[in-house]
Structure 1
């Protein structure tokens, strides 16, 4: 199966998500958070580094629970950038 290439906005959104998760994780190990979220440490590493910029909703929800983040806070920090006004 061939994936459609990601747009620059999708890549940027993935980078924002990764940064938010790294910050929220703080001093906790990647393995600890991954186990609590029910995902592999490799999956978390890929999300945090932007190599998996479009994780499944249930993965994001599990990470939000493990990191005590609200889905609203994640959407606010990582959602689509506002459209620029036409000149």
Structure 2
């Protein structure tokens, strides 16, 4: 099955998610965060830089767990209205 290319809006949201996750990581090293979440450091790097703009729900949930955040807290970090 061929995956359709992401729209510019989807890419923009992926970049915003990556930046929010980077901020949430704070002083935790990329390697430590990736190991705690059970993903490779390269995957985390791609998510944070927007090169992987649509990570799976379970990956995002694992990163939130590694950072001590709920998904709700993560969504508020990325919302400029809050």
TM-score higher than 0.5 here?
A: yes
SS in 2 for 1:53: coil
Name the CA distance, whole Å, in 1 between partners of 2:52 and 2:43: 8
CA distance in 1, matches of 2:7, 2:56: 17
- How far residue 68 of structure 1 moved from its aligned partner, in angstroms, is 1.6
Deviation at 1:75, TM superposition (A): 3.4
Counterpart in the other structure of 1:10: 10
1:25 equivalent to 2:25? Answer yes
Q: What's 1:35 paired with?
A: 35
**What CA RMSD, in Å, does the superposition of the two structures yield over aligned residues?**
1.4
TM-score by length of 1: 0.81
Q: In structure 1, list runs of 5 or more residues that go unmatched.
A: 79-87
Residue 23 of structure 1 deviates from its aligned partner by 0.7
* TM-score, length basis structure 2: 0.85
Aligned to 1:51: 51
Q: Larger Rg: 1 or 2?
A: 1
Runs of 4+ in structure 1 off by over 4 angstroms are none
Deviation at 1:28, TM superposition (A): 1.4
Q: Is the 8 A contact 1:33 1:67 kept in 2?
A: yes
Q: Which blocks of at least 5 consecutive residues in structure 2 are unaligned?
A: none
